[in-house]
């Protein structure tokens, strides 16, 4: 008489009718392969089992890559929608002062930054009244300030968008929140021939919100729209 245990008839019939239930269950397949290896003994190498383990490892890596790609795609889509909404909000005001004030309120909230300020280079030594009224979002600086700030005083070429982490902000750039800023996105602005450049700065208390490893395509697009809008106001 055989001592092999029999599977109960209803369970056996179901397995025979739907074998895919076992084939699709990774834990069950692992248990069956392990049982088969024990039955063969320790002196036999199951090459098929080794091959399956390697294939499973590769499949796991592919699934991780797939999830990372999907997550990056959703993040890019969310970032695109965020920038588009900020641009639409930026274009709503009908006066220049409302346009600037809107940057520090609705636009900065949409972009989820802790401060958003515009720095304009000027040849005048004294601040104009408009700059004082909008000091929470607007500041003036001497000629050459933008290049020096972007290059940290080293000179050389500057990119349109600079993303970096900082130890502490600059009060001329980040205003009253300068001490809490740990990362920034600096958008260099060209207002056309005969005009001094400017800089739009997004500051964040999170040191990882803006880093050099991040892509800058969306912020370059935002800077381009901002430049063209400012040119119309300055005309």
pLDDT given at position 38: 66
- Is the CB of residue 116 less than 8 Å from the CB of residue 108? yes
Rounded Cα distance between 141 and 170, Å, is: 12
| CATH fold of 69-234 | Beta-Lactamase (3.30.450)
pLDDT tens, position by position, 182-228: 999 999 999 988 899 999 999 999 999 999 998 889 999 999 999 99
Cα radius of gyration (the chain):
31
pLDDT given at position 161: 95
Helices in the chain by DSSP H: which ranges?
A: 9-17, 20-23, 26-40, 47-90, 96-102, 108-111, 129-133, 145-151, 171-174, 217-234
pLDDT given at position 1: 41
Strands 198-204 and 183-189 turn out to be antiparallel
pLDDT band for position 49 (cuts 50, 70, 90): low
- The DSSP bridge partners found for residue 188 are 199
State the average pLDDT for the chain.
83
Rounded Cα distance between 172 and 138, Å, is: 9
2: pLDDT strictly greater than 50: no
175: left (phi over 0), alpha (psi -120 to 50) or beta: left
45: pLDDT strictly greater than 60: no
pLDDT tens, position by position, 62-119: 887 878 777 667 777 888 899 999 999 999 998 988 999 999 999 999 999 999 999 9
126: pLDDT strictly greater than 60: no
């Amino acid at each position: 008489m055989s001592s092999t245990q029999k599977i109960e008839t209803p369970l056996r019939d179901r397995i025979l009718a739907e074998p895919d239930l076992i084939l699709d269950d990774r834990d069950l397949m692992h248990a069956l392969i392990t049982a088969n290896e024990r039955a063969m003994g320790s002196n036999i190498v199951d090459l098929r089992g080794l091959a399956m383990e390697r294939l499973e490892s590769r499949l796991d890596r592919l699934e991780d890559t797939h999830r990372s790609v999907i997550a990056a795609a959703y993040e890019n889509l969310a970032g695109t929608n965020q920038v588009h909404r900020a641009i639409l909000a930026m274009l709503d005001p009908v006066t220049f002062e409302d346009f600037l004030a809107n940057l520090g309120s609705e636009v900065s909230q949409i972009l989820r930054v802790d401060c958003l300020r515009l720095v304009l280079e000027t040849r005048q030594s004294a601040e104009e009244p408009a700059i004082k009224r909008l000091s929470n979002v607007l500041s003036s600086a001497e000629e050459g300030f933008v290049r020096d700030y972007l290059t940290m005083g080293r000179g050389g070429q500057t990119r349109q968008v600079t993303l970096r982490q900082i130890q502490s902000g600059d009060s001329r750039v980040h205003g009253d929140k300068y001490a809490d800023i740990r990362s920034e996105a600096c958008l260099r602005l060209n207002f056309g021939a005969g005009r001094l450049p400017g800089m739009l700065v997004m500051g964040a208390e999170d040191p990882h919100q803006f880093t050099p490893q991040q892509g800058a395509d969306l912020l370059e697009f935002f800077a381009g729209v901002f430049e063209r809008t400012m040119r119309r106001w300055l005309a």
